[in-house]
Chains A and B, each alone.
Chain A
C-alpha cells in the first residue's frame, strides 16, 4: 500500500510550523512569556478570534464569503454586555434571532443566487447600525458567568490554551467528523453530486450559515468576557482577521477545502504576530506596516506548501 504523507497533513504542517517558529521567536525575545500567565496573556484574546475564524471558515466551506463578520461580532458583544446580562431571557432570544437571520441569509443567497460578498456587505451596515442603537457609547457589563468562564484558571494549561484546543477539537468534530460537516464540505466541493445523492443543498447551506452564526455569537460573548464591556466598533477588524486566519490555516476560498484545526492555528498565529512585533520594538511609524509584512511572509510560506503538495502529487 503506497501511502505517503497525505495532502491534509502537509496542509496542516505549514501553519503549525509557522506558529511554532513564531512562538520560539517570542520566547527568545521575551522569556517571561514562557509561563502559565505569560501564555495566557499571549493567547487569551485569540480565543474570540479563533471562534470568528471558525465561523468564517464555515461560510467559506460552501464557497461564500462573509464581509459582515466583524460587525456581527460587535453586535453580539453589545447584546451580551446589555441584554444578556440584564435580561438574560431577551438576550438569548435576540442571539437566537441573530442566528436565524444568518440561516436565512444562507437561504436567500442560495435561492436568488446572490453574490454573498454584496449581501454580507449590506448586512455589515445593518449589524453596525443595530450595535450603535444598542450602545451609542461604550459600556455595558459582561454577565458574571461569562467573566467567570473566561478568567478561569484551569490546572496545567492556561485558559487561553485550553479554550483554543477545545474550539479546535469541537470544530474538527463538527466539520470534519460529523455527517453534517461532510455534507457542508460536499456542497463546497461538488454541489451537483450532493444534489444527485438526494440531499437538499439549500438546507446544507442554511445549516452552514446557522452554524457560522452560532460560532460568531460565541466569539462575541467570549470577547465581552475578556474586555468586560462592549462598544459598537469593538470587533470590526475580525472580518479581515477571520479571512486571513482561514487562509493562514490552509483553507481555500473555493472548493470546500478547509481545516478547522488549521483555522484555529491561523488565528493564534495572527495574534502572536502582533505580540512578536511589539516585542521587537519597531518604531511606531512602522508598526502598522510590519503587520502587513508579517502577513505577507507567513502567507508566502503557503507557496512552499503548494510546491511540496504538487511535487507529492506528481510523484
Chain B
C-alpha cells in the first residue's frame, strides 16, 4: 500500500483496539475479517504497533462497557468501537476519553460528545427504499415492513426513515410490520405468519439480512413476488440474480459495508497522527442496483456480504470532505 511516510514516524508505537459486541452474523464476521486483513497489513508495515480485535460473549452493552474499561487498563491509544447501544456505553467512553484515549465509533455510534462518529444515515437508508419503490411502482401499493431487533437504535432509525418515506410518497401504505431480528430464519418465520392475512403486497421494505427470508416465505405461500429491497448479503444477491435471469425481476439492495471498520481504523490512526478531524463523519451506504448487480455479486464471497475495504487515502478523503 502507498502510505505517506510522514505518518510512519508518528503512530508506529500506537496501539489501536477494536471493541465489537457481536460476532453472530455474516455482517459482523465480514467486518472482523476486513479489520484483520487491513490492520494486519498496517501493523506489518509499521504504521501502528498493534490493532487487536475484541468481541464480547454476548450482545450486551454492559459487557462491552467492561471491555472498554479493560482496554483503558491495557493502555491502548485508540479504541475503535461498534457499540451495542448509542447511549449505554457513554459512561465507559467518557472514562476512556478522560484517560486520554481516542474513541472512534462506527456503525453503532455513541452519543458521548468526546467520541468521534462515523455514521451511516440510517434514516436516509430507510427513506431511500421507499423513494426507489415510488419510481419502480408509480401507482403505489401495499408495503410489508420487516424490522430488526426491538429496542435497538438502528431498528428504530431505519423504521423511522421508512415511515418518513411513506409520508412523502402517500401512494404507499404499510399493511404489516414484523420483527425479523436481522436474521434470515426469524424474518422468514415472522413473514410466513403474517402473510396469510395480508392483502396483495407490492413491496417489502427491509433492514438488511432479512430479504432472502422474506422471499422464501412469500414463495412458499405461492404469492406473486413483490419488489423486495435486499440487504447486500450474498444469498440475497444470488437469489435476485436468479430471478433477474428468469423473470427480469428488478429491485435494489442497500446496506452499510462491513469494511467501514477499516475506515474507522484509518480515521483513528489519522487522529493519533495529529490530524484535525471533525467529530461527525458520514459514510455513504453501499447500494447495489440492477445494472451493477453482477459486478458486485462477483466480488462478494460466497455466503458473505458485499463489502468495501478502505485505505488510508480513502480516510483522508473522507476527513477532508467533511471540513
Q: Which residue numbers of A lie inside 8 Å of B, CB to CB? A: 30, 32-33, 38, 41-42, 44-45, 48, 131-132, 135-140, 223, 226-237, 271, 274-275, 278-279, 281, 284-285, 287-288, 291
Selecting from B151-159, B207-215, B228-236, B288-296, the interface stretch reads: B151-159
Given A45-B65, A138-B153, A231-B151, answer yes or no on A237-B58 (Cβ-Cβ < 8 Å). yes
Query: Most chain-A CB neighbours within 10 Å: which of B60, B61, B66?
Result: B66
Number of residues on chain B facing chain A (CB within 8 A): 43
Question: Which residue in A136, A226, A232 is a CB contact (below 8 Å) of B91?
Answer: A226
- B151 near A137: Cβ-Cβ < 8 Å: yes
- B61 near A234: Cβ-Cβ < 8 Å: yes
- A279 near B74: Cβ-Cβ < 8 Å: yes
B10 interface residue, CB < 8 Å from A? no
CA distance A231 to B153 in the complex (A): 9
B54 interface residue, CB < 8 Å from A? yes
Q: Which residue numbers of B lie inside 8 Å of A, CB to CB? A: 20, 23, 32, 52-63, 65-67, 69-75, 85-92, 94-95, 149-153, 155-157
- B73 near A41: Cβ-Cβ < 8 Å: yes
- A138 near B62: Cβ-Cβ < 8 Å: no
CB distance from B46 to the nearest CB of A (A): 20
Residue of A nearest to B19 (CB): A278
Q: Can you list the 7 inter-chain pairs with the closest CB atoms, starting with the nearest?
A: A232-B151, A229-B87, A137-B156, A41-B69, A227-B88, A288-B57, A138-B85
CB distance from B207 to the nearest CB of A (A): 14
Residue of B nearest to A283 (CB): B53
- B74 near A231: Cβ-Cβ < 8 Å: no
CB distance from B257 to the nearest CB of A (A): 20
CB distance from B258 to the nearest CB of A (A): 14
CB distance from A51 to the nearest CB of B (A): 13
Tell me which residues across on chain B come within 8 A of A284, comparing CB atoms: 20, 23, 32, 53-55
CA distance A109 to B59 in the complex (A): 32
Tell me which residues across on chain B come within 8 A of A271, comparing CB atoms: 66
Given A138-B86, A228-B87, A279-B74, answer yes or no on A287-B66 (Cβ-Cβ < 8 Å). no
Query: Most chain-B CB neighbours within 10 Å: which of A42, A140, A228?
Result: A228
